[in-house]
Amino acid sequence: MTLPETAEKFVRNLLKDKLSDSYTYHNFEHTKRVVASALELAESEVLSDEERSALELAAWFHDTGYINGPDKHENNSALIFNEFASENRVPPQTAALAEKLIRITEMCLEPDTTPEKIIRDADCSHFGSEKYQKIASLLREEWASQGRVYSDSEWAKGNLEMLTKWHKFHTDYARNHWQSQKEKNIASIQQKLKEMESEENPGNEKKKDKKKPDRGVETLFRVTLNNHTQLSQIADSKANILLSVNAIIISIALSTLIPKLDSPSNAHLVTPTFIMLMFSVISIIFAILATRPKVSSATYNPQDVANRKINLLFFGNFSKMPLADYQNAMKEMMDDRNYLYESLIKDLYLLGTVLERKYKLLRITYNIFMFGIISSVVAFVVAFKSY
């Protein structure tokens, strides 16, 4: 296996095992895109074998530092590469150059050498791609998961500023082959901004009849709802673990320990066994309470629907509504921005109250289990010593 193939395999496994799924942009797909762009640019330049090898290695490793978070990821990427280089006997000069190329991908730095210019252009090659909008939306989604949420207008202005003020292609190949598409992307963003401005009144206030929510708000609700769902799944998983562990304890006790308590010689084990089983049963009860569904089913009242007093997003509220009435109510909600937001906020709040109850019961369950294990062990030790 060649060194670039070894690097590719290492980076693929590293990102698969340690990179969070929330990184929708800075992931292995982005890495492959940067490597392909770097090799494409390298074909148009005169590079030594050492420079070409270092460039390809740097392209594979330039964003591996994201496994430790976005802060100082260039430095973390360089450290990860250095460890790889020492383990795979990368020539010292090649490794040093590759590390330098990884660090130069920081946007505030200015590239000087040809390899540095190549990797900077490769890292931003999507600026001159027809898929720019699609790729940029992945970065927006990634940032939203980190709490950096932007409205459509803010996102468009930020992209325009990046493309026009902060970024430029450094190699002749990129300027000749990618700059024209970059200009088209800039024009597309400018057109979108004009369309947004045309929807605003002279006071720069949004029209009251604008019905669709901003993309940033949609992302906020989607990410938050997804987090709530994952937290609920984690709670259920933890409760199921305790159910299984305590069920095993009870099963073993019933099959092996309790039948032997009839013997007078084992009378000293009755109390500790009872303590162990009692705490196991209590733990199971609380684990069941933590996972037991609690659904409030409301009676259907057309007046409540008209007055918007029920949550159309919760099945317990609409399950008894006729389909036609539910469809009409949902259409009304989708046509009214404030009504839609209020319903989503109410749904988030109710999910939060359910999570608070689950985790409270789960904490009690773990405390009971921990105290029960300690008490059982102490009881058995005392019983054996006093026997």
Q: Output the DSSP codes for 258-285.
A: GGGGGSGGGGGGHHHHHHHHHHHHHHHH
Which pLDDT score, from 0 to 100, does residue 211 have? 47
Which pLDDT score, from 0 to 100, does residue 210 have? 45
8 A C-beta contact, residue 101 and residue 82: no
What is the pLDDT tens value at each position of the chain, 387 positions in all?
Answer: 899 999 999 999 999 999 999 999 999 999 999 999 999 999 999 999 999 999 999 999 999 999 999 999 999 999 999 999 999 999 999 999 999 999 999 988 999 999 999 999 999 999 999 999 999 999 999 999 998 989 889 999 999 999 999 999 999 999 999 999 999 999 999 999 988 887 654 455 444 444 455 667 778 777 888 888 888 888 888 888 989 998 998 888 888 878 877 777 778 888 888 898 999 999 999 989 888 876 555 565 667 666 666 667 766 667 677 888 778 878 877 777 777 788 888 888 888 888 888 889 899 999 999 999 999 899 888 888 877
CA 378 – CA 54 distance, rounded (Å): 62
8 A C-beta contact, residue 372 and residue 284: no
Of the candidates 370, 379, 377, the residue with the CA atom closest to the CA atom of residue 245: 370
Of the candidates 102, 141, 146, the residue with the CA atom closest to the CA atom of residue 123: 102
Tokens, residue 343: 């319903």
Which pLDDT score, from 0 to 100, does residue 306 have? 66
8 A C-beta contact, residue 119 and residue 101: yes
Query: Could you give the residue ranges of the DSSP H alpha helices within the chain?
Result: 3-18, 28-42, 49-61, 73-87, 92-103, 114-123, 132-145, 152-161, 172-177, 179-198, 215-252, 270-291, 302-306, 315-318, 323-335, 337-386
Q: What's the alpha-carbon Rg for the chain, to the nearest Å?
A: 30
Which pLDDT score, from 0 to 100, does residue 299 have? 60
Which pLDDT score, from 0 to 100, does residue 106 have? 94
Tokens, residue 192: 């979108």
Domain spanning 3-123, CATH architecture: Orthogonal Bundle (1.10)
Domain ranges of the chain: 3-123, 130-170+183-210, 215-386
Tokens, residue 220: 């906020």
Residue with tokens 């069941």: 288
